[in-house]
A and B are shown apart, each in its own frame.
Chain A
Amino acid sequence: MSLAAGPSGPYPGPRGPSARPRTWPPPGRLPRLLSGTGVPLSLNEHLARYGPLPRHRSPGAGAAELIAEVSAAGLTGRGGAAFPAGTKLATVAAAAARPGRGRGGSAPVVVANAMEGEPGSGKDALLLARSPHLVLDGIALAALATGAGQAWLCVPAGQPALAAAARAAIAERDRAGPDQVLVRVTPVPGGYLASQETALVSWLSGGPQKPSFVPPRPAEAGVRGRPTLVQNAETLAHLALIARYGAAWFRSVGVPPEAGSALVTVSGAVPHPGVLETPLGTPLGTVLAQAGLAPVAGAAGRPGPPGQARHPGAVLAGGYLGGWLGWPDAAAVPVSAAGLRRAGAALGPGTLAVLPAVACGLAQTARILAYLSSHRAGQCGPCTHGLPALAEAFGQIAFARPHPRTIETVGQLTRLLPGRGACHLPDGGAGLAASALRVFAADLRWHAGHGPCPAAAASAQEAAR
């Protein structure tokens, strides 16, 4: 399919069903975002696979229609907070329309967040590498909906290949007919909190890379005081498809009210780790089966002698700020924000890390808590003091013989930290620790009686090397 350049962007094709190429994914089937073959889709291939973006009679009418469609689709943010995307778009658009806005003027901006601060997550990097035009379409649509003229596509500074892929894709679009929105690919220094919404906005405004207190939310006043739409790269990719195929198509998979599909990153003790696309609400066992994990009936998560089959002991869902799920009970838990929250974990950025039964969940939790503690911003007292205390106490539980008072301290801290910081780092750390005490209760009793289990001792030795 050849392209003719036009002033409205690289999508000059006529509207109507007769213009649709054969290779569009039929409604209701996956893959949606991951349609590629492993090499980056060029603009032509992208258009051949997904079709052109719909054209609108005028930018203003297009904006309202798009926001309505996204709201009807029920798209929620895929960066971890799961905030309704339509509401966010509407808030930014309304803030921009209000007269006499803040010091930065009222022109809104879009921030595409591909920072992916969660160590176990690789979905945003995959999207940018494989289907950058989906993300760029999403940015263009978000700019249309909010009236933004510029956008920042934020990528980790430590992965120059991503920036290169994004810039190449933008260059392709510029040659075919530039987007209405100016997209700046911006490498941002990494760190766990680098992808946090207000920390990213603060950095883009020339300030420190630390979360700020809300209100005002970035949607009201963000980069240099302007209304700012901060959206995860995957969310923008979904936006690109909703604009083409509509809300009903989006909702044809998923379990209401959580509609559509999501990218999950499966890692750990699975035969085929990687990024998968799954309808929301799919049972965890089914998702992990796609990564090659066969359900093991009756297996319990116990540390055993080395050499035993690496079947799962537990699954960490939602990343370092998520929670543990015991295996095989977890197999039935639906992979959705509500389902995972009910089970004591979280969806977060869609990471599912499988812990083998031979490993010690307490040791792993202690290491994660130490990592979180070292990445705290140091702005809020309860987190600055409480998270290291939690990490230290949990270290005692995992690598020493915990005193009952230590275990009690951990319990107290898990109740003391949530809701008392500017971001969700302390909440997440506390939630992770609480879920570990619950899921690994048997291991905890063993540690209390005998000191660190062989698996914990072995992992401590390995970390020391």
Chain B
Amino acid sequence: MSDRLRVNPIACEAHGVCAELLPELITLDPWGYPILAPGPVPPPLLGHARRAVAACPTLALLLNRDENGTG
């Protein structure tokens, strides 16, 4: 069981708030859109990940509980 971050690229409008709140896992490309680190979210960062998901102005950042770890 793991939690994975995903971006809905259609909803994303490059506000960049997610990268501010979770710089360990999210960086921004030259146009301001998020690049997510691959793999599951490490447990110590889960709280920050949830906060980043709630803070996205367009609700484009998603945190999915993944049962079998294949994403």
- Chains A and B touch (C-beta atoms under 8 A apart): yes
CB distance from B11 to the nearest CB of A (A): 7
| B-side contacts of A383, CB under 8 Å | 9
Whether A381 contacts B33 by the Cβ 8 Å rule is yes
> Is there a chain B Cβ closer than 8 Å to A15's Cβ?
no
> Is there a chain B Cβ closer than 8 Å to A380's Cβ?
yes
| B-side contacts of A381, CB under 8 Å | 9, 12-14, 31-33
| A-side contacts of B12, CB under 8 Å | 380-381
Whether A213 contacts B11 by the Cβ 8 Å rule is yes
| A-side contacts of B7, CB under 8 Å | 420
Whether B31 contacts A422 by the Cβ 8 Å rule is no
| B-side contacts of A448, CB under 8 Å | none
| B-side contacts of A212, CB under 8 Å | 10
Within the assembled complex, what's the spacing in Å between the Cα atoms of A379 and B58? 14
| B-side contacts of A213, CB under 8 Å | 8-11
Within the assembled complex, what's the spacing in Å between the Cα atoms of A380 and B33? 9
Q: Return the chain B residue nearest A384 by Cβ.
A: B31
| B-side contacts of A379, CB under 8 Å | 9-10
> Is there a chain B Cβ closer than 8 Å to A416's Cβ?
yes
A-B contact count (CB 8 A): 39
Within the assembled complex, what's the spacing in Å between the Cα atoms of A383 and B13? 13
> Is there a chain B Cβ closer than 8 Å to A36's Cβ?
no
Whether A380 contacts B9 by the Cβ 8 Å rule is yes
Chain A interface residue number, banded: 10 to 19
**Residue of A382, A385, A386 contacting most chain B CB atoms (<10 Å):** A382
CB distance from A162 to the nearest CB of B (A): 31
CB distance from A428 to the nearest CB of B (A): 15
Q: Return the chain B residue nearest A379 by Cβ.
A: B10
CB distance from B58 to the nearest CB of A (A): 12
| A-side contacts of B35, CB under 8 Å | 416, 420
Which residues, 204 to 239 on A, are CB-close (under 8 Å) to B?
Answer: 212-213
> Is there a chain B Cβ closer than 8 Å to A421's Cβ?
yes
> Is there a chain A Cβ closer than 8 Å to B29's Cβ?
yes
| B-side contacts of A380, CB under 8 Å | 9-10, 12
| A-side contacts of B8, CB under 8 Å | 213, 422
| B-side contacts of A385, CB under 8 Å | 30-31, 33
**Residue of A212, A379, A416, A420 contacting most chain B CB atoms (<10 Å):** A420
Whether A421 contacts B31 by the Cβ 8 Å rule is no
Choose one: B11, B13, B30, B33; the contact of A420 (CB below 8 Å).
B33
Choose one: B11, B13, B14, B29; the contact of A416 (CB below 8 Å).
B29
Whether B31 contacts A420 by the Cβ 8 Å rule is no
Within the assembled complex, what's the spacing in Å between the Cα atoms of A416 and B31? 11
CB distance from B46 to the nearest CB of A (A): 21
| A-side contacts of B11, CB under 8 Å | 213
Whether B9 contacts A422 by the Cβ 8 Å rule is yes
| A-side contacts of B14, CB under 8 Å | 381
Whether A382 contacts B10 by the Cβ 8 Å rule is no
Q: Can you list, as one digit per residue, whether each of B29-63 has a CB less than 8 Å from chain A (1) or not (0)?
A: 11111010000000000000000000000000000
Q: Return the chain B residue nearest A381 by Cβ.
A: B33
Which residues, 2 to 34 on B, are CB-close (under 8 Å) to A?
Answer: 7-14, 29-33
Q: Return the chain B residue nearest A421 by Cβ.
A: B9
Which residues, 413 to 432 on A, are CB-close (under 8 Å) to B?
Answer: 416, 420-422
